Amino acid sequence: MPKEGVKLLDMWASPFGMRAKIALLEKGVDYETQEEDLFGGKSDLLLSSNPIYQKVPVLLHDGKPMVESSNIVAYIDEVWPNPPLMPACAYDRARARFWTHYIDDKLFSGGRDIWLSKGGEELEVAKKEFIEILKVLEGALSDKDYFGGDSFGYVDIMTIPIASWFPASEKYGNFKVEDHCPKISAWIKRCMEVDSVAKIVPEGEKICGCVAYIRKLNGVAEE
Amino acid sequence: MPKEGVKLLDMWASPFGMRAKIALLEKGVDYETQEEDLFGGKSDLLLSSNPIYQKVPVLLHDGKPMVESSNIVAYIDEVWPNPPLMPACAYDRARARFWTHYIDDKLFSGGRDIWLSKGGEELEVAKKEFIEILKVLEGALSDKDYFGGDSFGYVDIMTIPIASWFPASEKYGNFKVEDHCPKISAWIKRCMEVDSVAKIVPEGEKICGCVAYIRKLNGVAEE
């Protein structure tokens, strides 16, 4: 384990790893990544630095491990304060943490319920619930360019990596986010043009390939 | 709705409400509470200020609502910085947030699985899992007086309200936390002597009465 510098234990498709990488790029922090084989064997470094959850991402800063992506991004924002990712005002910070909680609670699992569903009624319920989750988020975004206002910030960093998995939900759910939530759809396009996001977030096609693999592992038949 | 001051929408037995109240007492902040009838009808103020989750606690500060207890305590710590509840060092802060995540993920639900179980194998599994969760926490506490070291702080505030529900898990699980996790047991006694905790945390007997009521609502028979 390198005792100095910043190292991220990661898996390229993990939306939670993407959060940490986008935050590090926004701050201009040099880092190296170690790709983990989540479906094969995890590294000893991952198991020893996140013994309870054994998940990526883990951020090692001068050898000290941090886990949980929202926690990692908060740490990055504290240690490298410029440019700030969190809003300056305590109330706005509380709102940002609340939306992060909502996203962590609902958004990824909502999309996953679609591409892990076996079709029929189960799929229709999953789609309906996912679109409701998105509409709540669209209400929070409202007419702003980004969740925090005029500039790309903390809640955007929390959300856009998860949005990078939407193409898989759209593919297996046979719907378009744009048809239900045009403001969220425009926000995704806007974020994808931010340098750090463009560098980190993979193409929808690659994510769909990863999801096809996870579906197979979970015994969900391919059409 | 009062536009000035601090008001907490609460339910006396809620461990999450207790977190906010202990934090406010630690900071010496005057506040009023509004007791919610969670099993009857929630107030319009609760429904309008936490429309997504419709849960207590909600902290209204000068009329502005904040929800989610760890978020509320973080806000209190930012707006009234003395005495600080979170550690000063960014790494220790990340550790504190991680343990809060672990506690929110596992501890209350682990204890609830015992007192909502219908007995037999289900109860034995729930007990075994809860004791494992506690042992992980005991490892984090180690030989320190409090989770953060020598003084009562953020992680203690997150945890002790949930520990106030342990008597119900012990009663319906027919075991003693002390027999499995003596350090956690000693830490509970130590926290109960902290002024703010002593003022806020109800007696185990009262919590057991509340749990008996919830068991009945959930169709779990009383012995």
User: Tens of pLDDT along chain A (223 residues)?
Assistant: 455 799 999 999 999 999 999 999 999 999 999 999 988 899 999 999 999 999 999 999 999 999 999 999 999 999 999 999 999 999 999 999 999 999 999 999 999 999 999 999 999 999 999 999 999 999 999 999 999 999 999 999 999 999 999 999 999 999 999 999 999 999 999 999 999 999 999 999 999 999 999 999 999 966 5
Interchain proximity A66–B94, CB inside 8 Å: yes
Q: Which helix (H) or strand (E) holds B10?
A: strand B6-10
How much is the pLDDT for B40?
82
Q: Give the pair of three-digit tokens for residue A124.
A: 């229709």
Q: Which of residues 121-150 of B touch A (CB under 8 A)?
A: 136
Q: What share of chain A is helix, strand, coil (3-state, %, to 5)?
A: 60, 10, 35
The bridge status of strand B32-35 relative to strand A64-67 is unpaired
Interchain proximity A93–B75, CB inside 8 Å: yes
* Separation between Cα atoms, residue B121 and residue B207, nearest integer Å: 25
- Residue B52 sits at the chain A interface (C-beta within 8 Å): yes
How many Å lie between the alpha carbon of A96 and the closest alpha carbon of chain B?
A: 10
Residue A185 CA neighbour count, 13 Å, CB half:
11
- Residue B89 sits at the chain A interface (C-beta within 8 Å): no
Instruction: Using CB atoms within 10 Å of the CB of residue B205, give its burial: 0 to 12 exposed, 13 to 18 middle, 19+ buried.
Output: exposed
| DSSP code of residue A59 | E
Helix A120-141 × helix A166-173 angle, to 10° = 140
Chain B residue whose CA is closest to A81: B90
Sequence-distant (≥ 6) Cβ neighbours of residue B46 within 8 angstroms: B9, B36, B54, B56, B58
Are A188 and A180 in contact, with CB atoms under 8 Å apart? no
Partner residue opposite B75 with nearest CB, options A66, A71, A90? A90
Which parts of chain B have pLDDT scores under 50? 1
How much is the pLDDT for A40?
81
- Which phi and psi angles does A42 have, rounded to 5°? -80, 150
Percent of residues, chain B, with pLDDT higher than 90: 95
* Separation between Cα atoms, residue B103 and residue B159, nearest integer Å: 7
| DSSP code of residue A146 | B
How much is the pLDDT for B107?
98
- Which phi and psi angles does B12 have, rounded to 5°? -50, -35
Are A3 and A30 in contact, with CB atoms under 8 Å apart? no
Are B165 and B208 in contact, with CB atoms under 8 Å apart? no
* Interface probe, candidates B6, B50, B67, B154, chain A, greatest A C-beta count within 10 A: B67
Instruction: Using CB atoms within 10 Å of the CB of residue B58, give its burial: 0 to 12 exposed, 13 to 18 middle, 19+ buried.
Output: buried
How much is the pLDDT for A1?
46
- Which phi and psi angles does A135 have, rounded to 5°? -65, -35
- Residue B178 sits at the chain A interface (C-beta within 8 Å): no
